Each structure stands twice: as C-alpha cells, then as structure tokens.
A and B are shown apart, each in its own frame.
Chain A
Amino acid sequence: MTSIATQQINYLNVKKGIWSWLFTLDHKRIGLMYLYAIGAFFLVGVTLGIFMRLELFNPGRDIMEAKTYNQVFTLHGVIMIFLFIIPSIPAVFGNFFLPIMLGTDDVSLPRLNLMSWWLYIIGALFALSTLVFGGGPADTGWTFYAPYSVKTGTNVSMSVMAAFVLGFSSILTGLNFIVTIHRLRTPGMTFNKMPLFAWGLYATSWIQVLATPVIGITLLMIVVERVFGIGLFDPSMGGDPILYQHLFWIYSHPAVYIMALPAMGVVSEIIPTFSQRTIFGYKPIAYSSMAIAFVGYFVWGHHMFTSGMSGSAAIIFSILTFLVAIPTAIKVFNWLATLYKGSIDIKVPLLFALAFIFNFLIGGLTGLVVGALAVDVHVHDTYFVVGHFHYVMFGGAGFAFFGALHYWFPKMWGKMYNMTRAYVAFGFLFIGFNILYFPMLILGIMGMPRRYYDYLPQFHTLNQISTIGSWILVVGLLLMIYNLIAGYRKGPKATGNPWNGMTLEWQTDSPPPLHNFDKMPELPEGGPYNYPNAKSQ
C-alpha cells in the first residue's frame, strides 16, 4: 500500500530542473551526479586506452608519435586514477547508500558534500584544460617523477593542480563519511552491527583523510618548483629526486586501498544477499579492512626497490608488503565460506563479485611477485607491472563498481535492467578483460618495458592478442551501458527489495523517498545479514 502512495514522490521527481540537481544537498542526487561525471571520464579514459592499444598493435609508429603516446598514457593514468577509480565507489555508492544503510536521511555535513562534488568538477576541468592550454597534457606518466616533471615543457603544473584539487575533494568526502558513521547510525546499530560496506568506507575514509594531504603538499612543491625555478627535487640544484618518490608513494600506495577497500565492501554486501546466508566471519572482514588500511600506510617503499634504497629498508618494506596479503586473504576465505552451502542465486551482481575475487586474486598474487626483492629487479617498469595494476584496479575495483551498479540499480532508479543482456555483457567484459591483460603479464616477464610506443618484433603476437582483447572488452562495456540505459528508460518497475536483501536500504521504496524512510527502519535481529531461513550458521 505505502509503496503505491510513495512511488509518486521520490527523490528523483520531487523537484525538477537542472539547478535542483547542481545545488542539491540530497546525498542521493549528489551520488548520481558523481556517477554521471565519473562515468563520462571513465569513457574518456577508456578511449585513450583503446588508442594506446591500437598504437601497440604493430611495432613502430602506427597512429601516433612517441611524444603523443607519452601524453596519452599520462592523461589516461591521471583520469583513471584521480577521476575514475579513487572517487568511484565511495563518491557514487558511498554517497547514495551509506546514509540509507545506516538508517538515516543524509550525511552529517550535507553542504560540505556538495562542495566536494564541485571541487571534483573543478579538478576535472583543470585536468582537461591541459588538452588546450599550455604545452599540452603532461608527458611524465601519472607519477610526475622529478626531475623530469620540473623540466618538461608540457603543462605539468595544471595536471598537478588538478590532482591537488581532486585530492581536496576526496578528503572532504572521507571526512564527511567518518563523521556520518560516528554520529548518525540508527538507534541500536553499534559499530559491530553496521553493514560491511559501511566498514569498508570507514577504513577508506581514514586513508583519504590521513594520506591525501601528503600528496597534496608534494604536488604543490612540484608546481612551486616549476613556477619559481627553485630546486626542491632537482638534483642539479641540491634537491633529492628520491625524496620526491618517497613522498609520492606515501600517498599513492595507500591510494590503492582507497580503491580496493570500498570494492571489498561491495563484494561483502553482494555475496550474502545472493547466497541468502549470514556472512561468514563478520568481524574478521570488518576488522581486516582496518588492518589493511593501517599496514598499507607503511609499505610505500616497494615502489622504489630499484631507485636506490638501503638493503635493510628494502627488506622491511618487502616484509610489510607481504603482510598485507594476510588480511586480504582473510576476506577471500570468508567470502568463499559464505558461499559454501548457501542458496546461491547466480545473478549478474554476484558474477561481478566473483569476477572481482578472481581478478583481484591475480592482481594480488602478482603483487606479491613484484613485492619480492629479487624478482622486482627484473620486472620493475615492465608490462608485468602494467598487467598487475590493471588486474587490481580495473579487474578488481572496476568490476566491483560494475557489480555495485547492477546490485543497486533497481534501488536507485526503481527500474530493472534486462538480465539476459546483462549476462552477455558480463561475459564479454570478463573474457575481454583477461585477453587484454593476461598477455601483458607474460610480455613483462619476457622483458617488454612499459611506457614506450614501440617494441621489439618478438613481442608482436602477444601485443596483438592484447589489443584484440581490448576490442572484446569495449563491446562488453557498450552493451552493459546500453542495457542499463534501456533499463532506466523502459525497464519494468522494481520492487523495494528485488534480491531479498537484509540491509536497511532494502526496507525502503525503490527509488527511495526524499528523506529515505517514511517510517522508522527496523534493524534485523542478530546482525545485518541474519537470514531467517539460512540453512546453517
């Protein structure tokens, strides 16, 4: 009954017009605006990636010059890291669902939330402006290593300022989530009764708050160095380029967990829902997020084994790197144990979650390979690394993002997409992804260096296979996007709880009313995933 009445007024149709979106304080609308912006930049990044793969189809020059190629992979990296994967899950699904899952009607600081969206847009415009202004987009790689980044004639200053502003946006989102989780949980929801997605965001937010400022100041130093011609990192003026690398990775390694932890949170939601079973090991999953966030802060040196570092420091960084595998594996085992003897319903969100586990496993295990001192000397700066981080960021976090999109789609728009088409799109994505990136791992071991527009003839076949993979992947992407848009426009109406989920977002209507709940949400007895007809504990 209530659902018929409230279908009329929800957060989507309560106000109309572009201004009611651009200056909204509603966390759900802000989440959607992030989705559209992030989605658009993701497609730009994908296009750049496709061009790179085209250039690498044959050795020698195919479609672009060496310098253009350098600018393309830099812009690709900057967009994919700072505009897509770091904000992705927290800014879109965190904004939309954290308050609902906590049983409240907004984040604690709604105006700050809107401000971080605007900062995101400003940062994005900065990044794109390098296409037109200055010496063109930076050609340094997304890492902006000194001293090249202070000497090149391309527009490094603007790219770096973009990353600075985007970092500020990320900090404010994280800050807002921490405060929200502390202040606005529904009565009775203790920390240990929070959904695991909230735990993932909580750990992520702390990293955002405590790591991002370090890269902020480091990038500012690059700008100052370029503008005033001073030598903070330039060795010819007494600076130390290795110091730059330390400062850069003090943020940028933890940033990997800004990408991974929310993704793990999503997987921890999807798996119990689609096996209709209590999550196995709630506390280990929750606390291992905090452990990963903590240990992840102290492993940055593994990016610099070949840059010059004392033997003992290298050994310590290597051991700490291996330690991160433990809390990560704890999660994987608990997810698998949850599936065991569950009533598994293989819907598309679950497939994405399983693909996350598969890809992230490859990404994680290759991570241990590059974290080992002796091996890293050989594979550092080769395509092995390129394969490794795409498995983590794209195959892992990116696939979890798609999974979240399919999982929460009916809640966000109150419509359902076509499930068959979604299966097909998933198939293309998963197969295309692995054909695209697995050859890179082999190429790296064979010795093909990264960041070149050219390669030796013996690498030809594997590069062609990889490029063909990129085409299959794109077919999957386009099909997925088409399917979701078609679902939004003319899909059948979704009920409030299409997957029989237990967390609080499934207690309200789809799409949710303006203030999320029209009556007090009820906490399930005995924890957030306590399925009444679960076969066994």
Chain B
Amino acid sequence: MNHHFTLPNSGHHYDAKASKMGMWLFLYTELLLFGGLFLVYMVYRSLNQDAFLLASFNLNVWIGTANTVVLLTSSMTVAMSISALQKGDSKKSILLLWLTILAALIFLVVKYFEWSSKFEHGLFPGMDHFNQLPNGEKLYFNLYFFMTGLHGLHVIVGGIFIMVVVAKIKSGKVNKSRYQLLENSGLYWHLVDLIWIYLFPLFYLIH
C-alpha cells in the first residue's frame, strides 16, 4: 500500500489559475458591495437633483482631480511591477511597489485634508452646519462620507496587501515563476482605482 500516492489533480499543488480565479470572483463581490451603494446614490440623486448639485459645490474639483491622477499613476506602477518580476527583476519590482504604496499614502493624506476641511465647516453628520441643511443635502454628505470612507478603507487594505507581497518577494516566496500573489494584489489595486474612477464624477463632476 503506497502512502505517498498523490492525485494528479491534487488541491495541494501550486495552482496559479485557481488563485487568479478566486481573486476575480472576490472582485465581483467587491463590485456588488459598492454596487449596492451606487444604487442608493442613484435613487437619492434622482429624488434630490438640486440638493445634490448644491451640496457638490462644497467639494473642490481640483483636489479630486489630483487624487484621481495619483491613483491612476499607482495603477500603472503596480502593473509595471508585475512585468518587472516576470522578467526576473525583483529589485525593480519592489521599487515600483513602494511607489504604489507611496501613491496610496498621498491619496489618503489628501483625503484627510479634504475631510478635515468639511469638519471645520461643520459638514459632518451631527455637526451644527450639517444639521441645518435640507434633507437632500444631508443625504449627499451621508453618501459622500460613507462611500469615500469605505473606499479609503479599501485603499488601506490594498496598501497592506501590497506590503505583504513586498515582503514575500524579498523572501523569495513570490518570484519569477510564482508571481500570482503579486498579480492578485495588482488586480485588487486596479479595483480600488476603478471604484474611485466612478466616485470621482459622481461626487465632484456631475452637474
């Protein structure tokens, strides 16, 4: 009786395709998670057109644009990092990942200043100025804080994910022939980016 028999289709083999498929499925769930919020946004925007427009003037389009550029750039660096590792250049790959994390930090710092300026103007739920707003504008700010807040959380998670990958490239666990984890972190990062691409026009641009 052979104790070392292993099935050819064993679940314990390294299977890049399986891990990639799992990541894609997870991305669907993330899309649907935000999808629920987009739906709520759509309904309330259509019920409160004018109020949403008025409230959106409180946001600074230029800051939003700057952050969009930052995130788009970071999507590029993470993609470049994957091709760098595929070519075996792990140093360059790690450098590009650090640049991605730097971009994430810049994005968060900018968001921090944006949010604090809203706090200063008393525009957070429960504050004086906010309480005097009509319901429609309140809804706008509720959704603004909820959606950008949840997105910010995803930026943090994505950043941590990328740092884990950096550590694994350094220790050699993620390398030229086993780079699926890096690709997954890149996929996740693109998703974070993509969601922002929708949030930006919804809150800053639509007139």
Q: Which of A's residues lie within 8 Å of B, judged by CB?
A: 2, 5-6, 99, 103-110, 112, 171, 175-176, 178-180, 182-187, 209-214, 216-218, 220-221, 224, 228-232, 237-240, 243, 247, 515-520
Query: What are the residues of chain A within 8 A of B18 when measuring CB–CB?
Result: 108-109, 179, 182-184
Q: Fill in one digit per residue for B29-47: 1 if any A CB lies within 8 Å of its CB, else 0.
A: 1101111110110011001
- Within the complex, the shortest CB–CB distance from A226 to chain B, in Å, comes to 12
Shortest Cβ gap from A215 to chain B (Å):
8
On chain A, the residues within 8 Å of B142 by CB distance are: 228, 230-232
Kindly state whether residue B206 has any CB partner on chain A within 8 Å.
no
Please state if A213 and B21 are interface contacts (CB–CB under 8 Å). Answer: no
Task: Given A213-B36, A217-B36, verify A185-B12 contact (CB < 8 Å).
Answer: no
- Contacting A518 at CB < 8 Å: which of B1, B33, B125, B136? B1
CA distance A402 to B176 in the complex (A): 49
Contacts of A237 in B (CB 8 A): 135, 138-139
Given A183-B17, A209-B29, A213-B29: 10 more A-B contacts, CB < 8 Å = A6-B1, A112-B22, A175-B22, A187-B9, A209-B28, A210-B29, A213-B35, A217-B32, A217-B34, A520-B7
- Quick check: A214 and B32 within 8 Å, CB to CB? yes
Least CB distance, A450 to chain B, in whole angstroms: 28
**Residue ranges of B at the interface with A (Cβ–Cβ < 8 Å):** 1-3, 5-12, 15, 17-19, 21-22, 25-26, 28-30, 32-37, 39-40, 43-44, 47-48, 125-126, 135-136, 138-139, 142-143, 146, 150
Report whether A243 and B40 are in contact in the complex, using a CB–CB cutoff of 8 Å: yes
Which chain A positions have C-beta within 8 A of B139?
231-232, 237-239
What are the residues of chain A within 8 A of B44 when measuring CB–CB?
238, 240
Instruction: Indicate which residue in B1, B10, B135, B138 contacts A2 across the interface (CB closer than 8 Å).
Output: B1
Name the residue in A2, A186, A213 with the highest tally of chain B Cβ atoms < 10 Å from its Cβ: A213
Rounded to whole angstroms, the CA-CA distance of A238 and B32 in the bound complex is 24
CA distance A187 to B9 in the complex (A): 8
Q: How far is the CA of A186 from the CA of B11 in the complex (A)?
A: 11
Residues of A within 8 A of B136 (CB): 238
A105 touches which of B11, B28, B36, B146 (Cβ 8 Å): B11
- The CA-CA distance from A518 to B40 in the complex, in Å, is 54
- Which A residue sits closest to B149, measured CB to CB? A224
Q: Would you mind naming 8 contact pairs between A and B with Cβ atoms under 8 Å apart?
A: A106-B11, A175-B29, A178-B25, A229-B126, A232-B142, A238-B139, A247-B40, A515-B5
Q: Please give, as numbers and ranges, the residues of chain A lying within 8 Å of B43 by CB-CB distance.
A: 240, 243
Question: Of all chain A residues, which has the CB nearest B20?
Answer: A179
Q: B residues within 8 A CB of A178? A: 21, 25
If the complex has contacts A108-B22, A221-B40, are A213 and B33 also in contact, measured as CB distance less than 8 A?
yes
Closest-CB distance, A403 to chain B (whole angstroms):
27
Q: Are B34 and A104 in contact (CB under 8 A)?
A: no
Docked CA distance A230–B138 (Å): 8
- Provide the residues of chain B in CB contact with A106, threshold 8 Å: 10-12
A230 with B125, Cβ < 8 A, contacts A210-B28, A243-B43 known:
yes
Which residue from chain B places its CB closest to the CB of A112 in the assembled complex? Answer: B22
Please report the C-alpha to C-alpha distance between residue A501 and residue B30 in the assembled complex, in whole angstroms. Answer: 41
| Selected contact of B12 from candidates A110, A216, A518, CB within 8 Å | A110
Residues of B within 8 A of A229 (CB): 125-126
B39 touches A247 (CB 8 A): yes
Contacts of B2 in A (CB 8 A): 518-519
CA distance A211 to B33 in the complex (A): 9
Contact B29 A519 (CB under 8 A): no
Within 8 Å by CB of B135, from A238, A515, A520, lies A238
Q: B35–A108 contact, CB under 8 A?
A: no
Which of B25, B29, B150 neighbours the largest number of chain A CB atoms within 10 Å of its CB? B29
Determine whether the beta carbon of B33 is less than 8 Å from that of A107. Answer: no
Residue of B5, B28, B37 touching A519 (CB-CB under 8 A): B5
Instruction: Note all chain B residues with C-beta closer than 8 A to A243.
Output: 40, 43
Contact, CB under 8 Å: A179 / B28: no
Distance of B42 from chain A, by nearest CB (Å): 10
Residues of A within 8 A of B30 (CB): 213
Asked, given contacts A104-B9, A238-B48, whether A109 binds B126 with beta carbons under 8 Å apart, the answer is no
| Residues of B contacting A231 in the complex (Cβ-Cβ under 8 angstroms) | 135, 138-139, 142
- Report the separation of the CA atoms of residues A105 and B142 in the bound assembly, to the nearest whole angstrom: 49
Chain A residues, CB < 8 A from B32? 210-211, 213-214, 217
**Chain A CB within 10 A, most for which of B25, B33, B125:** B25
